[in-house]
Amino acid sequence: MSVLAVIPARYASTRFPGKPLTDIAGRKMIERVWRHTSAAEGVDQVVVATDDARIADAVAAFGGQAVMTPETCRNGTERALAALDELNSTAEIIINVQGDAVLTPPWVIGAVPVVMRADASIEMATPAVKMPPDTEAKFRAAKAAGEVGGTTVVFDGNMKALYFSKTVIPFQRNPDAGTPTWQHIGLYGYRAETLRRLVALDPSPLEQAESLEQLRALENGIPIRIVEVDYRGRSAWSVDAPSDVAEVVAIIAREGELVS
């Protein structure tokens, strides 16, 4: 069962143009994500899907593989499918890894293909991590201050997603109940046929309300398996704006590199 990992990477960005080529402690952002993905268990091939020759050239310079995809791709999901088709790949599982997830450990990325290889009934999967109390408190404070980044998820007893939200769910009316808050990690695994079905669907009402593509799957009856992961003491952070770069560099200096 072949697994293709696709890292969508656009040069144009309203908040952070050229973000994939940003230097992060001596390595370009896209190289860091490529290295972490290449080290993940269960991944057979890694490609960067881009629409810009500058990114493709940078990937080639560090020894990675890039594939050119149309500028008309509206999101990473469409770009992942475009890469699959451009490569004429026969991969049965496609892992979509966000190009700005510079601190996502290889074992978190690899958890998704491992679970999907083991259970052929899983159409789509994505990881989540249980927030420790101090992290949850900071997360809630950031949301209260108006920050948009960061997504939470709730799921049933069979680890099937019930809902994803940019707000903090569930609402803790009774904090003493000890119900955990789970942070969603933005990478996805799809069966090839599920990816095609998802891209063919129109954007759904909840997806448009929350700006979360995964809600399109839930609204159209595509189940999403939540994969519980553990960062093993590592910090989770993504680069959404230029101000995030210094924080990521500080984390790497403090905790060390994920891969050599």
The pLDDT value recorded for residue 146 is 87
pLDDT, average across residues 224-235: 95
CA distance 122 to 112: 10
CA distance 109 to 156: 22
Residue 194 has pLDDT above 90, yes or no: yes
Q: Is the CB of residue 150 less than 8 Å from the CB of residue 168?
A: no
Angle, CA of 165, 198 and 222, to the nearest 5°: 65
Pick the range with the lowest mean pLDDT from 30-34, 126-130, 141-145, 237-241: 237-241
* Domains of the chain from N-terminus onward: 3-255 (3.90.550.10)
The pLDDT value recorded for residue 234 is 93
Q: pTM, whole model, 2 decimals?
A: 0.94
CA distance 34 to 201: 29
The pLDDT value recorded for residue 123 is 98
The pLDDT value recorded for residue 98 is 93
